[in-house]
Amino acid sequence: MSDHDLDGSRHRRTSTDPARTGAIPRAGTFECLRCGLTVTRLGPDGDVRNHCPSCLHSQHVEDHVRGGPAECRGRMSPIAIAVLRNDDWMVIHRCTRCDELTSSPVCRDDNQLILMRMAVRPLAQPPFPLEVFADL
Amino acid sequence: MPRRRTPDGGRRPQRRKSVLHGPGGEGGDAFRCVGCRLEVPLAAPGTAHRNHCPHCLTSRHVDRRVPGDRAADCGGRMAALSMTVRSNGEWLLIHQCVTCGELSANRIAGDDNALALMRLAMRPLADGKLPVRALLTL
């Protein structure tokens, strides 16, 4: 992102209050709903992040069905990792209030231990015996 | 939003799904998979809400939020994206609509292809970078 974009978003934030208009600012910080960590909006690669890098929790601020801001504003907990065809990783979030599902890209500084825990959680309690796969 | 859990902490039993699966909205006891064209019977072991093909795990975007409400007018193919687990250990499939990008979750059925499920669950661990990075943070 260029400096011009950053300046533009800062001007927009001063002219219109994001809490009132529902617009999601591109710069600045937000506080994690779960662990209270103050997180910068921009990730290390210059992309906008929407979840806490420490506990990976997010907030339901965007309505993905209709588009635009959502009224729910509930806490969204990470439930799964998805690997796309182009090897990009996404975190799937579920709103603890209205059960809405969203996906967002994994940031470089996201907590690797929580990512690892989500990846191995299905294998801890498999619904079928895994010994069968050894015979294949 | 209604609460999904009953007061004693357990989950309520699954509602019966009463939708018409035949071509043109006729009654039918089977549907054809949009991914692999397999004829899939509606009766599934372990769930009353079968919405995906047991062979290729592909689903179709017809419901919005409640299983069987038929409120979505997209109709696109939904590809299995990832696997997640409920707190009681049940596996859930996460589908993403390839037409509109909507996500949905559905419990796996008893006759789902175990190899396809395992492949989906192992996908984050397959490239081997994640365990290394997790160990490096310790």
Residues of the domain holding B119: 23-137
CB count within 10 Å of CB A127 equals 15
Tell me the average pLDDT of chain A. 80
Confidence bin at A4 (pLDDT 50/70/90): very low
Q: Could you tell me if residue B3 is inside a domain?
A: no
Q: Could you tell me if residue B48 is inside a domain?
A: yes
From A5's Cα to the closest Cα of chain B, the distance in A is 27
Is B136 in CB contact (< 8 Å) with chain A?
yes
B108 alpha carbon, distance to own chain's centre = 6
Tell me, what's the pLDDT at A56? 94
Say which residue, A135 or A37, is predicted with more confidence.
A37
- Tens-place pLDDT, residues B51-106: 899 999 999 998 887 777 788 888 899 999 999 998 888 899 999 999 988 899 99
From A98's Cα to the closest Cα of chain B, the distance in A is 6
Q: Are B28 and B19 a contacting pair, CB within 8 Å?
A: no
The percentage of residues in chain A with a pLDDT greater than 70, rounded to a whole number, is: 79
Backbone φ and ψ of A100, nearest 5°: -75, 145
Q: Could you tell me if residue B4 is inside a domain?
A: no
Q: Could you tell me if residue B7 is inside a domain?
A: no
> Cβ of B103 and A113 within 8 Å?
no
- Tens-place pLDDT, residues A109-131: 899 999 999 999 998 888 888 88
* Residues paired with A127 in a beta bridge: none
Give me the residue spans of the domains in chain A: 3-123
- Tens-place pLDDT, residues B121-137: 999 888 777 778 878 87
Backbone φ and ψ of A18, nearest 5°: -65, -30
Q: Are B47 and B14 a contacting pair, CB within 8 Å?
A: yes
